[in-house]
Structure 1
Amino acid sequence: MKQVATIKEVRAEIAELKAQGKRIAFVPTMGALHEGHLSLIRLAKQKADEVVVSIYVNPEQFGPNEDFEDYPRQMEDDLKACKAEGVSLVFTPNDEIMYGSGTKYFSIDIEHMNEHMDGGSRPGFFEGIALVVNKFFNIIKPDVAIFGQKDIQQFQILKQMVHEFNHDIEMTAAPIARANDGLALSSRNAYLSDQEREIAPGLYRALKYVERQIRDGVMEPKLLLGHQQDELEAKGFKNDYLNVFSMKTMKPVKKLEAGSTYILAGAVYLGKTRLIDNIILDL
């Protein structure tokens, strides 16, 4: 496994692999790798000959009051994990490499797909993600890129970006990796106290309960969702959102229809920790 930090170096390594006829899979990360990230790497190995992982905490996707400074960073452990999983190349740029210095004249705007879910709660979040991922795609030019279903809105937005910007990249979403009690794995889970960690799976349980009711025939789940929000608040969560969204538009849906695909998604706070989770509903 090789680690490189500059664009020139990573392009040279990729060019050498492609000259050998290798198919390249790319897994972008912000580090603090856990089993969820490793599951993405394992899927990438099934999809391609060589796996490239980026480790970069992107400042553009953090709001002014968010946890950029406190976001967990553990480069040494991350590199060991990548090596153990058979990653070929790890790209570890810094802010100067990714964004340079001086005045910036270009940005990426997103219409409609970022108005609800996480985009509604975190203004500028997806613009920052689209910007850095677009840069990574231009630098690495992978054949396939692997993302996690936990960040389903991110995946759908980036998939649309790939389509509109004509990137020749296959986009793949890997299933959510979970702890034994159902909690979706996340680097931010490290922020949870022991007591918070104990009740954290409550969000997933609420989603599973709503899913069962929908599959049993509840096609207008507004009251059901409201009841689950009340239950979560009573257990110590602070609700951000809990709703059913269109897979295509990322907008909330009041009445579900058989034959359509939806995202049942929620975001909550436990103390200062924000948790997200979702279930795909193919009705």
Structure 2
Amino acid sequence: LPWHTTGKLSTNRVTSSCSRRAMPELLQFKDASSMRKYSRLQRQAGKRIALVPTMGYLHAGHMSLVQAATDRADIVIASIYVNPTQFSRNEDFGVYPKAREEDHRKLLAAGCAAVFEPASLYHPGTVSSDGAGDNANVVGAGEHVVGAHETFIQVEQLQKGLCGVSRPHFFRGVATIVAKLFNIVEPDVAVFGKKDYQQWRVICRMVRDLDFDVEVVGVATGREEDGMAMSSRNALLTPDNRQRAVCISQALKWAEEQISHREATPSGIQHEVTDRISTGGGRVDYVSVTDAENLQELKHFVSGQEVLVAVAAFFGSVRLIDNVVSVKQAG
């Protein structure tokens, strides 16, 4: 790594024990200023920079994002930040799983050069919020604090359907935090997983509309051996609900086959996928069959069209999402 810590930058280091001769280190940045200085110095040295935004509790799916980033850049920076503005007060912000030291080891082993792990990315304001920290930025947690953060980005149309119906606050928070990360890290490329398909589309549209000079890469959903989509929230499932939740990927695989090779209608697929997940023990939030690019609900299929089938469902109190994209073949 062509970098040495000086007194001008606030960093910590995680060292790999895999080689005593060449000791790779993961630089850790806690504040926006030192993160930006590091990134700019790498750019001045002619390095191409990739950003992998995460909320931590990393799994193999996240590591596939890091791998995709290392294929496209010289320096890979991961961010770990549980963003409060994409949660409402009745959601799981307070119990989102964390494993900081293990996350750092995984990032180092996967080839990350640095991790950006701020305590908060929102200005707290001029009036005390009783030490609430980022909890005060959870949507609906309380009244706005005088002088606190109040600027948000909304992607007006793409945020409306799918997850935006039951979580209308979500994509405002996502777009805002990603824009802030882009402004701090100043990456050439940013890598996101397509499990959060609507999020990926929202970010692509924000980048286009606001002229960010960032290449946005989407990576296919990582899956467990039984087909279930990898997710940090899987750790919150009880063993029984973990077994039940595989019905989501099974229903989506059925839908993919129907669209690809057989006569089917969007409404028929929607109803059948809903039934299969409900019968499997889930409480369905939504099943949507949409155009894969503009996310508009479909009333019929057109040959050659890319179709998204997206699902959100609860198993116990844990909300899971998954999707497939399939191309409608000629009937």
TM range (shorter): over 0.9
Deviation, 1:199, is 1.8
1:249 aligns with 2:287: no
Deviation, 1:107, is 1.7
1:207 aligns with 2:252: yes
SS at match of 2:290: strand
1:27 aligns with 2:52: yes
Deviation, 1:244, is 1.0
Aligned residue number for residue 37 of structure 1: 62
Of the candidates 283, 291, 294, which is equivalent to residue 238 of structure 1? 283
Of the candidates 115, 124, 143, which is equivalent to residue 101 of structure 1? 124
Q: 2:245 touches 2:281 (CA, 8 Å); kept in 1?
A: no
Aligned residue number for residue 140 of structure 1: 185
Q: 1:63 touches 1:123 (CA, 8 Å); kept in 2?
A: no
Aligned residue number for residue 196 of structure 1: 241
Q: Which moved more, 1:26-35 or 1:80-89?
A: 80-89
Deviation, 1:249, is 2.2
Q: Which moved more, 1:228-237 or 1:270-279?
A: 228-237
Q: 2:50 touches 2:75 (CA, 8 Å); kept in 1?
A: yes
- CA distance in 2 between counterparts of 1:140 and 1:278 reads 30
Q: 2:194 touches 2:221 (CA, 8 Å); kept in 1?
A: yes
Deviation, 1:225, is 2.4
Aligned residue number for residue 97 of structure 2: 72
- What is the TM-score with the length of structure 2 in the denominator? 0.82
Of the candidates 191, 203, 227, which is equivalent to residue 158 of structure 1? 203
Deviation, 1:120, is 1.1
Of the candidates 30, 47, 53, which is equivalent to residue 78 of structure 2? 53
Deviation, 1:219, is 4.3
- CA distance in 2 between counterparts of 1:270 and 1:144 reads 35
Deviation, 1:227, is 2.5
**Aligned residue pair count:** 281
Unaligned runs of 5+ in 1: none
Q: Deviations along 1:64-104, whole A, 9 cap, x unmatched?
A: 10000000111111111111112111001112xx1122123
- CA distance in 2 between counterparts of 1:189 and 1:65 reads 19
The letter of the residue matching 2:221 is: I
RMSD (Å), alpha carbons: 1.2
- CA distance in 2 between counterparts of 1:236 and 1:68 reads 24
- CA distance in 2 between counterparts of 1:106 and 1:221 reads 38
1:82-121 mapped onto 2 (5 Å cutoff)? 82-95=107-120, 98-102=121-125, 103=147, 104-121=149-166
The letter of the residue matching 1:34 is: H
Q: 1:219 touches 1:257 (CA, 8 Å); kept in 2?
A: no
Higher helix share: 1
Unaligned runs of 5+ in 2: 1-25, 126-146
1:177 aligns with 2:213: no
- CA distance in 1 between counterparts of 2:304 and 2:109 reads 42
Q: 1:38 touches 1:85 (CA, 8 Å); kept in 2?
A: yes
Q: Which moved more, 1:157-166 or 1:227-236?
A: 227-236
Q: 2:85 touches 2:170 (CA, 8 Å); kept in 1?
A: yes
Of the candidates 204, 217, 221, which is equivalent to residue 266 of structure 2? 221
Aligned residue number for residue 7 of structure 2: none
SS at match of 1:47: coil
More relative contact order, 1 or 2 (CA 8 Å, 6+ apart): 1
Among all aligned residue pairs of Structure 1 and Structure 2, give the percentage whose two residues are the same amino acid: 38
User: Measured at CA, do residues 197 and 118 of structure 1 come closer, stay the same or move farther in structure 2, by a change above 3 Å?
Assistant: same
- CA distance in 1 between counterparts of 2:253 and 2:212 reads 36
The letter of the residue matching 1:17 is: Q
- CA distance in 1 between counterparts of 2:269 and 2:75 reads 46
Q: Deviations along 1:147-192, whole A, 9 cap, x unmatched?
A: 0010010000000000011101111001110000000000000011
- CA distance in 2 between counterparts of 1:110 and 1:167 reads 14
- CA distance in 1 between counterparts of 2:276 and 2:68 reads 36
Deviation, 1:231, is 2.5
Q: 1:148 touches 1:173 (CA, 8 Å); kept in 2?
A: yes
- What is the TM-score with the length of structure 1 in the denominator? 0.96
Aligned residue number for residue 12 of structure 1: 37
The letter of the residue matching 2:220 is: P
Q: 2:47 touches 2:74 (CA, 8 Å); kept in 1?
A: yes
Q: Deviations along 1:209-233, whole A, 9 cap, x unmatched?
A: 1111121232423123213312321
